[in-house]
A and B are shown apart, each in its own frame.
Chain A
Amino acid sequence: MSRPGMDGQFGRVVMARDGIDALIRLLDRQGFRVLGPTVKDAAVALAEISSTTDLPVGWTDAQDAASYRLVKHERETLFHYTVGAQSWKQFLYPSRTCLWRARRAGTELRIESGASPEQKMALFGVRSCDLHAIGIHDRVFAEGSYRDPGYVRRRSNMFVVAVNCSKAGATCFCTSMSTGPRATDGFDLCLTELTSPDGITYFVEAGSSYGQEMLAQLPSRTANEPDVSSVNVMITGTIRQMKRSLETAELKPLLQKNAEHRQWLDVGKRCLNCANCTMVCPTCFCVTVEDTTDLSGNAERRRAWDSCFTLDYSYIHGGHIRTSPQARYRQWLTHKLASWHDQFGSSGCVGCGRCITWCPVGIDITAEAGAIRKSVKIG
C-alpha cells in the first residue's frame, strides 16, 4: 500500500505464532482478501488463507533444475521453503481478463467495461525476489507512457507482508541480481522466522505507516539488539547457501552482440518450446488479445497470458518471424537479461530460479548466459 520507509523509521517487534494469526485476522477484518502460500498438489501454491494452519506448516522444499519436491521439516516452521511455481502476477495481472464487452441494443452497440468489482488484496509471505518482480511490473504497467488501469487499481489498494528467506533453494540466484534474500523495499510489514532451541519466533518490521498502524494492534514485544543480530545471522546463512550465480557485468552488450552465437543453436536443440519458463516467470508479461462474438451479436474483447515460445506469437500474414526453437529461446533470454534494460531501465530477471526448476528439461538461464560469456572470453 505504500512505498517503503527508511531503515529504523518504523517499529520492529518480536511475536509468537499467535501474533501472525492475529495479523491475518486483522487484515481480514479490514476487508482484505488475504493471499498466501499453501500446500496444493504437492507443491507450495498461492491461495486465500485465513490462519497460519493454511500455510505450509512444517514443510520445506527441495528444488533443482527440472525438479521440485516438498519435504517434511523437523520444526513447525511457517516459512522454511522458497518460491513455488506461481508468482503474484496471477493476482495483479490475471491470466485471463475481459477488457470490455459490447451488447447490441436495437441498432446501437453498447460498450461496457469488462472489469468486475474486486476485493482489495493482502499479499502475505512475499519473498524479496517477488517484491522486486512487482517493482518491475510497476515500471511496465504503472509508470510508462501507457498504464494498465486494472493493474494500477489492484496495486494501489494492496497490502504487502514480506518474508525474509530462511533458506536458499538450489535454483535461487537473487544475490547475483541484487534482489534478495533480504526484503528492503516495497512492503508494509516484513517477517523473519527465527528458529532457536527455545522455539520459533517472528521478527516483524514495518515498512510503511499503514504497516506500523497494523503492527501496533498485534501481540508482541519490542525487538532488541540480539533479535536484530539473529535476523542478520539467518540472512547471512541464506546468502552462503546460494549456489547458483549469474555474472551481470556487461551482460546486456554481451548478449546483444552475440545474437548469432552457436550456444543458441545448442539450447535450441534442448528447448521444448513448452513456455513453462514464461508462465512461471514473475515478470514475463506478454499477453494476447482475442475478440469473441456470440450468435446474438454480443462481443467480448479478452486478454490472456501469451508466450514468446509459441509459434503463433510472431505470426504475421502468411508466416512466422521466429520459426526455430533457438530464435524463440534467444528472444526470451535476451529480452529478460538485455533489452529489458533498454525498455524499462532494469533487468527483467529477479533470480527467483522458477524458470530453472520448472523447465521440464532443466535448461538453466544462468548456465546459458554463462556459456556465452565463457566462450566469448576465450575467443
Chain B
Amino acid sequence: MARMKAGEIIGIRGPFGTPWPVQEAEGNDLVIIGGGIGLAPLRPALYYTLANRSRFGKVVLLYGTRTPQDILYRKELEALRARFDLDVDVTVDRAGSDWHGDVGVVTRLIPKASFDPASTFAFICGPEVMMRFTAMALQKREVPLQNIYLTMERNMKCAIGLCGHCQMGPLFVCKDGPVFRYDRIRDIFTTREI
C-alpha cells in the first residue's frame, strides 16, 4: 500500500467489531500500554483522550518495543513527551550504548507509573504474551479486572462472524471483539492454542 500512487483505488469495508471504550473510561485515569506494532490500534484512543483531555484524570502511555530503531511514531512520541498533561514512558528489549532510556519488557514500567489503580482504565495491545503479563502486572497494582481492556488478533476472512476463522472459544474476535474486557475472556485467554 505504501507504494501506491495518487489516484489509485483502495477498497475499504467496515468498521466492524468493538471499539476501545473511551467514553466509559472518562472520569478515570487511563493507562495505554502498547507492545511493538500494537501501538497503532491504540493511537486513535490516545488522540481521542487528548482531544477531550479535561474529561480524564491522569493519562499514561507506556510503550515497549524491540530496539530503538523499532519505535513507532517516534517523532510523535517525542512531541507527546513534552506535554505536562501526559506521561510517556518507552522501553526497548535491547539497545546499543547510544540509547539512554529504559531497557526491559514493558511490564517493568507499570510499577512506577503514576495512576490511581482503583479508578484506572487500561487499554492494552501487543503480542498475546505481552498482554498476559501486562494484565498480571496491572492486577498486582489492583486495577479492577473489569477496567482492563485488550484487543485480540486472529485470522479473519470475513469480519462478520461467518467464516469461522477468528473463533476464540465461544467468541468471534471479529464481531464480539477485537476489544474485550479482560475479566470476560481471562479463562479463554490463558488456555493454550484455543
Residues on A facing B (Cβ under 8 Å):
107, 109, 140-141, 144-146, 148, 256, 259-260, 285-289, 306, 308, 313-316, 321-324, 327, 330-331, 334-335, 338-339, 342-343
| Neighbouring B residues of A256 by C-beta, 8 Å | 169-170
Q: How far is the CA of A288 from the CA of B155 in the complex (A)?
A: 10
Q: In the complex, what residue of chain A is closest to B169 when comparing beta carbons?
A: A339
Contact A146 B160 (CB under 8 A): yes
A271 CB to closest chain B CB, in angstroms? 14
Q: In the complex, what residue of chain B is closest to A93 when comparing beta carbons?
A: B162
Contact B167 A148 (CB under 8 A): no
Query: Provided the pairs A144-B161, A146-B160, A286-B163 are in contact, do residues A343 and B170 lie with their beta carbons within 8 angstroms?
Result: yes
- Contact pick for B194, options A145, A288, A331, CB 8 Å: A331
Q: How far is the CA of A256 from the CA of B154 in the complex (A)?
A: 20
Q: In the complex, what residue of chain A is closest to B188 when comparing beta carbons?
A: A259
Q: How far is the CA of A322 from the CA of B96 in the complex (A)?
A: 36
Contact B161 A314 (CB under 8 A): no
Q: In the complex, what residue of chain B is closest to A285 when comparing beta carbons?
A: B164
Contact A259 B191 (CB under 8 A): yes
| Neighbouring A residues of B157 by C-beta, 8 Å | 287-289, 306
Can you list 11 pairs linking A and B with CB atoms under 8 Å apart?
A144-B161, A260-B191, A286-B163, A286-B165, A287-B158, A287-B164, A306-B164, A314-B155, A323-B193, A327-B194, A343-B161
A7 CB to closest chain B CB, in angstroms? 35
Query: Provided the pairs A316-B153, A323-B193 are in contact, do residues A339 and B167 lie with their beta carbons within 8 angstroms?
Result: yes
A107 CB to closest chain B CB, in angstroms? 8
| Neighbouring A residues of B154 by C-beta, 8 Å | 314, 316, 321
Q: In the complex, what residue of chain A is closest to B175 when comparing beta carbons?
A: A145
> What's the tally of chain B residues with a CB closer than 8 Å to chain A?
22
Contact B161 A327 (CB under 8 A): no
Query: CB-defined interface of B163-177 with A at 8 Å, one 1/0 digit per residue?
Result: 111010110100100
- Does B51 sit at the interface, judged by CB under 8 A? no
Contact A339 B170 (CB under 8 A): yes
What 11 new A-B contacts, CB under 8 Å, besides A145-B160, A322-B193?
A146-B160, A146-B162, A287-B157, A288-B157, A288-B165, A314-B155, A321-B194, A327-B192, A327-B193, A334-B169, A338-B170
Query: Provided the pairs A146-B160, A289-B158, A343-B172 are in contact, do residues A314 and B165 lie with their beta carbons within 8 angstroms?
Result: yes
8 tightest Cβ-Cβ pairs between the two chains A and B:
A286-B164, A342-B170, A327-B193, A339-B170, A146-B160, A289-B157, A322-B193, A259-B191
B16 CB to closest chain A CB, in angstroms? 10
Contact A288 B193 (CB under 8 A): no
Q: How far is the CA of A338 from the CA of B163 in the complex (A)?
A: 18
Query: Provided the pairs A259-B194, A323-B193, A342-B170 are in contact, do residues A289 and B163 lie with their beta carbons within 8 angstroms?
Result: yes
Q: How far is the CA of A205 from the CA of B49 in the complex (A)?
A: 65
Q: How far is the CA of A327 from the CA of B158 in the complex (A)?
A: 23
Q: In the complex, what residue of chain A is closest to B194 when comparing beta carbons?
A: A259
Query: Provided the pairs A316-B154, A331-B194 are in contact, do residues A146 and B161 lie with their beta carbons within 8 angstroms?
Result: yes
B11 CB to closest chain A CB, in angstroms? 9
| Neighbouring B residues of A321 by C-beta, 8 Å | 154-155, 193-194
